[in-house]
Amino acid sequence: MIIFPNAKINLGLRVLRKRDDGYHELETVFYPVPLQDALEIIPLAPAERTSSFPFSLSGAEVKGRLTSNLCVRAYKMLKKDFPRLPKIKMHLHKVVPSGAGLGGGSADAAFTLALLNKMFSLNISLEKLIMYAAELGSDCPFFMINKPCYATGRGEVLEEIRLDLSGYNLVIVNPGIHIDTGLAFLNFIPSLPGKKIKEIINRPVEHWKDELQNDFEKGIFHTHPEIGEIKNLLYRAGALYASMSGSGSTVYGIFPPPIIPGLSFPPHYFVRHLPGQLQ
């Protein structure tokens, strides 16, 4: 069976404080976008069953060992609690850039949990799936819901909100720069307290520019000015709102119809023009 894990963008991101448990208290809005990987899971026939886990990758580069991939970890997590879960082989084709602030790895893990639950009739509730997802990463619970959500805590406390960007065009640009999330947190520059992101999002998109901020931008743009220049180019091309997603390095622009900007970036940049809503 094949499933298509999609990416997300962050609409605003505030880092409020460092918590006693070492995590940071965040405020953001997660918005799903139609940029997708492909994940295939096939039960192993008795003759194929081995002690190893047949997991393979294609497409965009994914750093790290295969055995530590979030999809593999998701399977092993469920296998521990559901010993009857059969052995499988899994193939992941990557389109969403890794380490780019788009939640690609988190989406793959969450969709793995959901697909295993469906394929093998594990009857795990959504609430329990969200709990499993939270053990794999702060962004993972969002992808169990996969609808626009106001997120607090470390990103796992979610509230569905009404937000529809289907009438807009999105441009997503990744310059191929890997941003270490841990270093991003060390160097972030917080914004002054103001309106909650949930309140700002309720205003028309053309009003977001002056109020909807990503606290990571100043520090990362200082270290990597080419990322900040992408944002400037999107605004010059007519974007109503442009921002870095998460801790970077992807920058996106929201354009009103009928604008589909003819932008020019270096050939190694990852650039996609997308509709503003999952199909």
Flag whether pLDDT at 256 surpasses 80.
Answer: yes
pLDDT average, residue stretch 67-81: 93
Share of the chain above pLDDT 90, in %: 70
How many Å apart are CA 70 and CA 66, to the nearest integer?
Answer: 9
- Other beta carbons within 10 angstroms of residue 81's beta carbon come to 11
pLDDT value for 63: 80
**pLDDT confidence tier of residue 23, bands split at 50, 70 and 90:** low
Q: Which region among 73-77, 93-97, 152-156, 262-266 has the lowest average model confidence (pLDDT)?
A: 152-156
**pLDDT confidence tier of residue 259, bands split at 50, 70 and 90:** confident
Q: pTM for this structure? A: 0.92
Task: Identify the sign of the CA torsion 95, 100, 103, 105.
Answer: positive
**pLDDT confidence tier of residue 134, bands split at 50, 70 and 90:** very high
**pLDDT confidence tier of residue 31, bands split at 50, 70 and 90:** very high
How many Å apart are CA 170 and CA 272, to the nearest integer?
Answer: 8
Could you give the maximum distance between any two Cα atoms of the chain, in Å?
A: 61
Sorted by sequence, the CB contacts under 8 Å of residue 258 that are 6+ apart come out as none
- Tell me the Cα Rg of the chain: 19
Q: Is 108 left (phi over 0), alpha (psi -120 to 50) or beta?
A: alpha
Q: Residue 250 has which token pair?
A: 């992807």
Q: Is 22 left (phi over 0), alpha (psi -120 to 50) or beta?
A: left
Flag whether pLDDT at 64 surpasses 70.
Answer: yes
Active-site position among 37, 94, 108, 139: 139
The length of the chain, given as a count of residues? 279
Say if residues 24 and 158 touch (Cβ distance below 8 Å): no
Q: Which region among 15-24, 48-57, 120-129, 225-234 has the lowest average model confidence (pLDDT)?
A: 15-24
User: Is residue 37 among the annotated active site residues?
Assistant: no
- Other beta carbons within 10 angstroms of residue 29's beta carbon come to 22
How many Å apart are CA 230 and CA 244, to the nearest integer?
Answer: 9
Flag whether pLDDT at 173 surpasses 90.
Answer: yes
- Angle ∠(101,147,167) on CA atoms, nearest 5: 90
Flag whether pLDDT at 181 surpasses 80.
Answer: no
Query: What domains can you pick out in the chain, each with its CATH number?
Result: 2-160 (3.30.230.10), 169-275 (3.30.70.890)
User: Is residue 8 among the annotated active site residues?
Assistant: yes
Flag whether pLDDT at 19 surpasses 70.
Answer: no
Alpha helices in 56-103 (DSSP H): 70-81
Q: Residue 166 has which token pair?
A: 């289907």
CA distances from 61 to 65, 98, 113 (A): 12, 7, 22
**pLDDT confidence tier of residue 127, bands split at 50, 70 and 90:** very high
**pLDDT confidence tier of residue 61, bands split at 50, 70 and 90:** confident
Q: Which region among 12-21, 53-62, 83-92, 139-148 has the lowest average model confidence (pLDDT)?
A: 12-21
How confident is the prediction for the chain on average, in pLDDT? 90
How many Å apart are CA 99 and CA 250, to the nearest integer?
Answer: 9
Beta strand pairing status for 55-59 and 149-152?
A: unpaired
pLDDT average, residue stretch 68-93: 94
pLDDT value for 99: 83
Say if residues 173 and 271 touch (Cβ distance below 8 Å): yes
Flag whether pLDDT at 279 surpasses 70.
Answer: no
Active-site position among 8, 94, 108, 231: 8
**pLDDT tens-digit profile of 207-235?**
999 999 999 898 889 889 999 999 999 99
**pLDDT confidence tier of residue 82, bands split at 50, 70 and 90:** very high
**pLDDT tens-digit profile of 34-50?**
999 999 999 988 777 66
pLDDT value for 247: 85
